Structure 1
Amino acid sequence: MVSFILAVTASAGLGTGLMVTASNPPPDTEWETAIGGSYFDYADAVQQATDGGYIVVGTTYSSGNGGDFYVVKADASGNVEWEKTLGGSEIESGRAVDKTADGGYIIAGKTASYGTGGDFYVVKTDASGNVEWEKIFGGSSYEEAFAVQQTADGGYIIAGDTDSYGAGRTDVYLVKTDASGNVTWDSVFGASGFDHGYAVDQTTDGGYIIAGTTTSYGAGGDFYLVKADASGNLTWDVAFGGSEFDCAFDVTQTTDGGYILVGETLSFGAGSYDFYVVKADASGNAEWEKTFGGSDWDDGLSIEQTTDGGYIIAGNSGSFSVNGDGYLVKTDASGNIEWDKTVGGSDYDCVHALKQTADGGYIVAGETYSYGAIGGDVFLAKVSAWTNTPVGSNVTVSLESSTITFPDVSESGTTTATTSTENPGGPTPSDYYVIEGNFVEITTTANYTGPVTVGLRYDESQVSDEESLRLFHWNGSEWEDVTTSVDTVENIVYGQVASLSWFFIGEPAVAPVADAGGPYLVQVGYSLDLDGSASYHPDGTIVSYDWSFGDNTTGTNVTVSHTYTAVNIYNVDLTVTDNRGVQDSDTTMVVAYDPESGSATGGGWFWSAQGNLKQDPESEGKATFGFVVKYKQEAAAGNLEFQYHVGDINLKSTDITWLVVSSPNANFQGEATINGEGLYTFRVLAKDGDKTGGQPDEFTIKIWQGTDTEADPIYQALNAQLGGGNIIIHDN
């Protein structure tokens, strides 16, 4: 196996139990701060504000009202600029926030102060946190909003739970409002069990994607993904998970039109709970699934696609700290870990939300017991953008399975490597195969000068001759061999390039050997079995056999059956492909005859030109022939005599093996003696010119010593025009 991933991957598939952490150093934490009062306060949502600061929403119990929405505006360094509490005399919980087009904020959560003791509570504020309007949505029982987003039409979409409506004990509740908070429509999704909606995102088609958990479908608690159209009608829904409890907390649409979900799983992974990430296509089909974490509990709560096409995931971990900390995982676009890190102090801290910031870093929010009041405060932390290529000379970036050395870096940046099984350039060299079909793209955001040394690691169990390995680089027009050395101890192939792009490790290709068998003789209209079983591979496995029958039809398999419908001599091609994609082809001949098609006679002479006689290519002179060929009792019969006196050739047939008559031509092959001795094979093509509008008659003959018609003939005359005599094709 050849790997070029920046860091070790998480579990390669569900249920494997493999859990690992990244080997790359993570980015630095720029600052951490606690915000709140003397009692319990925590954050559930965060966004970067338009001025570069941050808006944080959560719940405070320090206000004296038993629990209120807690809205905090912090500057770019985490210093509080203003804070607001929203709610009544009972408990309110702030769950979500979104920046609005007018510079203000839309905030959603749950209220027990208004409505029926448990309803959606939605508040619109200006840029300073002053309330512009507030709305209550729900029925006679319990509702709670967990997500809100401003929609493209200027209104809002709110997602959460309802016990008042729907078919089950709890259902997903989706409410669409106009810009003033007036309900446009609402929808309920779920069935007879418990179904929860924790996240919503407006999709590019104007509809919505909602994520949560379901006990109505799946195995007693699974990820629940719901796609609704722009009017809130169900398009499709799907469950993901295993035999234990699995719950999704966040979802976003990805740039390819699909979706990325994160949550927690008891079904897979290595610990009590683990991060569970599912990438789905636009129709809700799982493309890949990953788990992240350790031997203890790890909960994934927030996910976002990053500007590099990968993903940033946040949650909590008891696996990588004594008391529990916030846990961040950065992956590439395929879910492979690039880095991970914990944030927090010596006591319990957790992260509920995160966003990528304008500088490429990350803002995270949650709760902390390490800092601030004893009862717990809002936790806010800023993490730097990740860089692994610092300023300096001879800077070596060590990725998990590749190394890149820059001679001089003038501006720091990030160097990454991603793999693909699709060839990003032109044809690879035909005498090399790509190890495991892997191509790797190495890129960097650092500014550098001078030639770069690239080393890619290989798995020695996957190659035959390590010394023969070569490193190929796509230079924009072709794959170029840039190899400088092969380290057979560390299993790395090194090369040097002027600029970074795509690479692959190649090993000299040991090709399979195709053998199509034959030649074959078959009567038109009868089935013919063609056999490629004599094909073999000296150092691999043949995985496919592809036949082309010469009549615009094809077949696949080691042995195939085919029926020809027209008289002809067909060239049949067999192409075999091995497990590495290397191919070989062989061509055989099929003679398809019809005993009712006619017969042929001929006699005369032609001038045998120089080059016809292999043993004396300078010789030339008169050659004579005479033949009668026909079918007798459905078998080819007849005789041929051919004389070329200059070359001391007096050929007489002893057998006619096959005959194909197809006006204006007769093709036949047989065995003969020369000068009364030996065994020779001949093949004749005789053309009746009268059948083609009065053109000259032509005679072609090839003679081989022995029976190997793949060898060079000892004599051949091609398309020789007669100097006297004639050729006649007799139609039945």
Structure 2
Amino acid sequence: MKTKPVLLAIAILVAASSTAQITWERIFQTGSVKTIEETVSGNFITTLDSVFLLDAYGNTIWKIHPPVAGYLSQTTYSSAPDKTGGYIIGGYAVNPSFDTYNFSMQLNANGNEITHTTYQMGNSGSIGVTAVMSTADSAYIACSAIGMGAGSVDTYVNKRNQNFTTQWSTLFSSGSVRQDALMEDQSQRIIAGTYNATGASMPKFQRFGITGAPAGTYVVPDTFAGGSSCYSSPSCTMCTDGNYFISANHSPDNGSGVFPYIAKLNTSLGSIWSKAISWPNQPYVNGLAPASGNGLIAMINYQNSIYLLRMNQNGDSLWTKVYSGSGTAGGNMIRQCADGGYIICGSTNGNEYILKLDSLCRLLPSVEITQTPALICPGDSAVLTAAAGYSYEWSNGSSAQSITVSAGSYWVKVKNTAGTDSATSNSINVNYYLLNTTISGSQFICFGDSVILSGPAGQSYQWFPNADTTQQIIVSVAGNVWLHYIDTNNCFVITDTIQTTMLTQLNT
């Protein structure tokens, strides 16, 4: 099939209703985020300098740097959730003889090690387990890259069951496998894309059956951009129709020009369509994710920014979104999330960078609401405040940044200054303090005797009907008794009414 050029897309503002999708942006310490995956609970497992579990809003739940027993140090390259609620991670470890061995490790839900294994070492050492995933049959895939000398790299694709015993291991030569180039299709076949970073080897996508036997290969053609010279960063993802999207980068003139290549393949690994992106100044496609309508999002590192190119089912460009982080940015990996949005990891200005975007690749306005005070007394009010810099539509009709409200449920819709992007908060409930309305003490008075009644802890007491102003009173007559007081939260409280009863004297 003839390859078609794709011109630089102009960003088009797409009108869409506000959704409940969560979006955020996080910058961490120095470095680059290598991998990120969503868990079944909506959290994110990510590999930075250590392994982090983030909640749905990007807040850290835990951070670990798990040691490999018997080794001096370890570096983690990859992480992914498994089907048991735990995780699998991979990297390399250095032993006391300073040899490097690749490893993969099972973690429980709290990030504690269950077990680990190490892999064979190459002629010139081990590079690391560069990609991991959990399969539909609850097994694990680990791609172990080893050095073979003279800059050459081979990768073993290993499948292990839940007990971490080997089901199969297949040599996949000519380079390492990025986590963005590893996937499982609807028939539980594994697809991995690799390249040789030191030579002119064309990127290829190898498919493995359930038993590990080869089940087809697609080799990126060397003619779409004028010849073969240098390739990099293959990626792949499933299309919503069950077919495959793949990508790679081609530099026929040894780096002075780069042509991202994107193709859609059928389940027989035949080309449905292919496109070369002819933007100037060396764009690199570094990840793919599915989109609605059998389309895709291509993550392209370009002009020191992350470009997200939306393509339809035919590979035609629809729009782009651009993110530059804190000045410059580059993406390492993109995944579609359960809510239809996207999670992206990479770096910005030398720091670790993560973006959670909506289904239109937008970073929506902040919709966090702060409440002061956290609880209120009956008859009092609270102040709700949304983030500054937007226009506002509160559920009570107000258009101010802050509103004063009584108890109840409230939400706000915010829009950016251009009015193009909007987001709606979750509802926030303004609640009363829990009031103590109980008078303690016996309600029954023996003839000729009295009882002591006590009010709750607080201040400024007023008893009725006898007008006492102490926390405790002595009652010697039958009748209704109640109390007005100020509690420890400075709330005015009216207690429940109790009825004291005079017991009848028995004649003897």
- For 1:52 and 1:352, locate their aligned partners in 2 and report how far apart those are by CA, in whole Å: 21
Asked if 1:202 corresponds to 2:190, the answer is no
TM-score w.r.t. structure 2 length? 0.60
Q: Does the 8 A contact of 1:150 with 1:157 survive in 2?
A: yes
Q: Provide the residue aligned with 1:34 in structure 2.
A: 27
3-state SS of the aligned residue for 1:311? strand
Asked if 1:278 corresponds to 2:263, the answer is yes
Q: C-alpha offsets along residues 509-543 of structure 1, whole Å, 9 cap, x if unaligned?
A: xxxxxxxxxxxxxxxxxxxxxxxxxxxxxxxxxxx
Aligned with 2:130 (options 146, 160, 177): 146
Q: Does the 8 A contact of 2:3 with 2:273 survive in 1?
A: no
Q: Does the 8 A contact of 2:158 with 2:166 survive in 1?
A: yes
User: Which residues of 2 match residues 29-428 of structure 1 at below 5 A?
Assistant: 30-36=23-29, 40-58=30-48, 60=49, 70-87=50-67, 92-113=74-95, 117-141=99-123, 142-143=125-126, 144-163=128-147, 169-190=152-173, 194-198=174-178, 199-214=181-196, 220-242=200-222, 243=227, 244-267=229-252, 272-292=257-277, 294-318=279-303, 324-369=304-349, 376-386=350-360
Q: Does the 8 A contact of 2:247 with 2:285 survive in 1?
A: yes
Matched residues, percent identical? 19
Q: Residues 173, 98 of structure 1: CA spacing in aligned structure 2 closer, same or farther, 3 A cutoff?
A: same
- For 1:387 and 1:212, locate their aligned partners in 2 and report how far apart those are by CA, in whole Å: 27
Corresponding letter in the other structure for 1:46: I
Q: Does the 8 A contact of 1:22 with 1:337 survive in 2?
A: no
- For 2:112 and 2:119, locate their aligned partners in 1 and report how far apart those are by CA, in whole Å: 21
Q: CA deviation at 1:352?
A: 0.8
- For 1:96 and 1:308, locate their aligned partners in 2 and report how far apart those are by CA, in whole Å: 30
Q: Select the structure with the greater relative contact order (CA < 8 A; seq sep ≥ 6).
A: 2
Q: Provide the residue aligned with 2:368 in structure 1.
A: none
Q: C-alpha offsets along residues 166-214 of structure 1, whole Å, 9 cap, x if unaligned?
A: xx94333111111122222211133xxx343333222333332111125
Q: Does the 8 A contact of 2:102 with 2:121 survive in 1?
A: no
3-state SS of the aligned residue for 1:241? coil
- For 2:98 and 2:4, locate their aligned partners in 1 and report how far apart those are by CA, in whole Å: 44
Corresponding letter in the other structure for 2:36: V
Q: Does the 8 A contact of 2:341 with 2:360 survive in 1?
A: yes
Q: Residues 316, 90 of structure 1: CA spacing in aligned structure 2 closer, same or farther, 3 A cutoff?
A: farther
Aligned with 2:7 (options 19, 23, 30): 19
User: Which residues of 2 match residues 521-670 of structure 1 at below 5 A?
Assistant: none
Where in structure 1 are there 5+ consecutive unaligned residues?
A: 1-11, 61-69, 319-323, 370-375, 389-411, 413-732
Greater C-alpha radius of gyration = 1
Q: Residues 15, 339 of structure 1: CA spacing in aligned structure 2 closer, same or farther, 3 A cutoff?
A: closer
- For 1:22 and 1:260, locate their aligned partners in 2 and report how far apart those are by CA, in whole Å: 23
Q: Provide the residue aligned with 1:455 in structure 2.
A: none
Q: C-alpha offsets along residues 532-574 of structure 1, whole Å, 9 cap, x if unaligned?
A: xxxxxxxxxxxxxxxxxxxxxxxxxxxxxxxxxxxxxxxxxxx
Count how many residue pairs are aligned between Structure 1 and Structure 2.
Answer: 345
- For 2:307 and 2:278, locate their aligned partners in 1 and report how far apart those are by CA, in whole Å: 9
- For 2:197 and 2:300, locate their aligned partners in 1 and report how far apart those are by CA, in whole Å: 23
**Structure ranking higher in strand proportion:** 1
Q: Residues 30, 236 of structure 1: CA spacing in aligned structure 2 closer, same or farther, 3 A cutoff?
A: closer
Corresponding letter in the other structure for 2:12: N
Q: Residues 229, 121 of structure 1: CA spacing in aligned structure 2 closer, same or farther, 3 A cutoff?
A: same
Q: CA deviation at 1:330?
A: 1.9
3-state SS of the aligned residue for 1:46? strand
Corresponding letter in the other structure for 1:75: D
Corresponding letter in the other structure for 1:25: L
Q: Residues 50, 236 of structure 1: CA spacing in aligned structure 2 closer, same or farther, 3 A cutoff?
A: closer
Corresponding letter in the other structure for 1:31: W
- For 1:115 and 1:154, locate their aligned partners in 2 and report how far apart those are by CA, in whole Å: 35
Q: C-alpha offsets along residues 481-507 of structure 1, whole Å, 9 cap, x if unaligned?
A: xxxxxxxxxxxxxxxxxxxxxxxxxxx
Q: Residues 155, 78 of structure 1: CA spacing in aligned structure 2 closer, same or farther, 3 A cutoff?
A: same
Q: Residues 350, 140 of structure 1: CA spacing in aligned structure 2 closer, same or farther, 3 A cutoff?
A: closer
Corresponding letter in the other structure for 1:104: G
Q: Does the 8 A contact of 2:325 with 2:353 survive in 1?
A: no
Q: Does the 8 A contact of 1:248 with 1:261 survive in 2?
A: no
Q: Residues 195, 117 of structure 1: CA spacing in aligned structure 2 closer, same or farther, 3 A cutoff?
A: same
Q: Does the 8 A contact of 2:55 with 2:61 survive in 1?
A: yes
Q: CA deviation at 1:377?
A: 2.7
Q: Does the 8 A contact of 1:302 with 1:314 survive in 2?
A: yes
Q: Residues 380, 368 of structure 1: CA spacing in aligned structure 2 closer, same or farther, 3 A cutoff?
A: same
- For 2:281 and 2:96, locate their aligned partners in 1 and report how far apart those are by CA, in whole Å: 40
Q: Residues 215, 164 of structure 1: CA spacing in aligned structure 2 closer, same or farther, 3 A cutoff?
A: closer
Q: Does the 8 A contact of 1:251 with 1:303 survive in 2?
A: yes
Q: Residues 87, 348 of structure 1: CA spacing in aligned structure 2 closer, same or farther, 3 A cutoff?
A: farther
Q: Provide the residue aligned with 1:628 in structure 2.
A: none
- For 1:81 and 1:130, locate their aligned partners in 2 and report how far apart those are by CA, in whole Å: 14
Corresponding letter in the other structure for 2:360: W
Q: Provide the residue aligned with 1:661 in structure 2.
A: none
Q: Residues 173, 339 of structure 1: CA spacing in aligned structure 2 closer, same or farther, 3 A cutoff?
A: same
Q: Residues 231, 382 of structure 1: CA spacing in aligned structure 2 closer, same or farther, 3 A cutoff?
A: same
Q: Provide the residue aligned with 1:562 in structure 2.
A: none
